[in-house]
Structure 1
Amino acid sequence: MGWPTTGTEPVELLVGQLFDVLEMPADAGRAVLRRLPGTGPVALLRAGRDGNRRIERPKLLMLIAAGGAEELPEILEWLEWGALAPDLGARGAGERMPAPAVPTYSAAGEPSSRGFGAREAAGWLRPPRPGRAAENSLPTTGIGAGIGDVGGAPDLIRLVSAAATECHRARLLRARKGQSDRADGDQPLAFSNASRMSAGTRPRSFTL
């Protein structure tokens, strides 16, 4: 696809040049994909090793416009999420992500193979489209950004709003099922939607 890589084995994509990455647990990410069908390329990172990090559960990696990772903390503060969405992160300049296999396409331009190869840590859920430059078809902010204004992708603020909401909901659901996240050093689940509404601290993202 002509994207910059580390040139090592296993192959990794360099982040921060053509795109940044929005990262979240797979259960929350799949809910975001149902809400926002035009996000752009999305990869699934399976549990295991990711460079020097240990991934305890699968994650979704959503490609966003370069520079978006730097904007994430301010967007979360503006949406009144702050530290209440600890599962939502980003990879920006100087970072990398596992490289999924290059997708193949049918004569009609539809992806004809997906998933993981034998040595791959990540596979495409929504592969990049042929002939569409990554930097021109990804969620972004700024002049011209808006729902459907950038290659059919939602603007970055709307994407982050949906992602923060679904990350919070997924944590509450896992806690209800007894799947504690405390072993990873995450903060306790102290706020339900109802309690935050009664306290007047519900984030705007619940109303978008």
Structure 2
Amino acid sequence: MALTAPLPRVAPDEAHAHWYERVLGWAVTGGPPAQLVTGTCFDVLEMPADAGAELLRRPLVTGPVALMGRRMRFLVAAGSADELDGLLDWLEWGGVALDLTALGAGGRMTAPAPPGTAGESPRGAAVWLRPPEQGCDVLLPALPGPGQGARPDLVRLVGAAATECHRARLRRPYGSGVPLRGALDQPQRSQRFS
């Protein structure tokens, strides 16, 4: 009678890391939980979850989107993070507190469980809202050209994200650390009529 040893069990986090590396070709580091390295295959446009949810309701085509707690992360083409501040200035959002940030070269993002994995994620764990697909490049900055299909450009995505971040900030209750009315809280000047 031959003895057989069971196959070694692979920790779920380790299996997830292998999936990202083998199937998608993305760099993974650290763990647990595994961290996806930004700036090589993709950058991340990050915003509050309430603003991100509104952005997802817009008729925009986006790449993969992840949710972690109260933050939503939109994956965009590598190098896009370097463009965020300039785009916000150009779109006339510069100087407005939007809570819209980007992760680029040298950044890390918690890796959500790969799509289709069994089991439930712990509360607050990163999850995919729009998962990545094998062979799916995250190429968002290019305008759609002949034969390229529907791909949003980074300008439209950042403009829509800035608008939704601003709207979400205005919807939050006063006293939550973010002024509700902003400039309207300034003292009113009295006008004298002769």
TM-score (norm 1): 0.68
Alignment correspondent of 1:202:
none
Q: Which runs of 5+ in 1 are unaligned?
A: 47-57, 105-112, 193-208
Kindly provide the CA deviation profile for residues 28-65 of structure 1, in whole angstroms up to 9, marking residues without a partner as x. Answer: 0111111144111000011xxxxxxxxxxx01100000
Contact 1:44 1:60 in 2 (8 A): yes
CA RMSD of aligned residues (A): 2.7
- Match status 1:67 vs 2:41: no
Distance 1:166 1:116 in 2: 30
Which of 75, 80, 90 in structure 1 is aligned with 2:102?
Answer: 90
Contact 2:68 2:124 in 1 (8 A): no
Alignment correspondent of 1:126:
130
Distance 1:99 1:148, change over 3 A: farther
Sequence identity of aligned pairs in percent? 52
Count of matched residue pairs: 161
* Pairing 1:40-189 to 2, within 5 Å after superposition: 40-46=63-69, 58-104=70-116, 117-118=121-122, 121-134=125-138, 138-140=139-141, 144-146=142-144, 152-174=150-172, 177-178=173-174, 180-182=176-178, 189=181
Alignment correspondent of 2:28:
5
Q: Which amino acid aligns with 1:171?
A: R
Considering only CA atoms, is the larger Rg found in Structure 1 or Structure 2?
2
Distance 1:169 1:83, change over 3 A: same
Distance 2:52 2:180 in 1: 21
Distance 1:153 1:82, change over 3 A: same
Distance 2:137 2:55 in 1: 23
Contact 1:100 1:120 in 2 (8 A): no
